[in-house]
């Protein structure tokens, strides 16, 4: 089975950083969960409920993680600035349980 890779980001810095790391895949700004199949790899910064949905589909979610200082929040970061923010990828799975 060929794994499809989805790069979910609208940020040019993240796109460049992923490319510099050798990641190639379908670049999208918004993820449609309905097109994802088991074995797909999704890379980005998604909300928890979407990560739960990906886990249920047996897809892999790799979270683009950084510690961004307050003064840089809301700005477009360069790949170099992202390195200063200790950018890394973390494979994450999630489950949910309704409480109400």
- Give pLDDT tens digits for 38-58: 999 999 999 999 999 999 999
- Give pLDDT tens digits for 68-85: 999 999 999 999 999 999
**Cα dihedral 22/86/91/27 (nearest 10):** -40
Rounded distance, CA 88 to CA 43, Å?
Answer: 11
Asked whether 78 and 41 are in contact (CB, 8 A), the reply is no
Rounded distance, CA 4 to CA 17, Å?
Answer: 19
């Amino acid at each position: 089975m060929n794994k499809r890779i989805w790069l979910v980001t609208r940020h040019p810095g993240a796109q460049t950083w992923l490319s510099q790391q050798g990641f190639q895949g379908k670049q999208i700004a918004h993820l449609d969960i309905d097109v994802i199949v088991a074995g797909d790899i999704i890379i980005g910064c998604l909300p928890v409920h979407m990560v739960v949905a990906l886990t249920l589909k047996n897809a892999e979610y790799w979270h683009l993680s950084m510690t961004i200082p307050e003064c840089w929040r809301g700005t477009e970061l360069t790949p170099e600035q992202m390195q200063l923010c200790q950018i890394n990828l973390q494979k994450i799975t999630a489950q949910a349980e309704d409480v109400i």
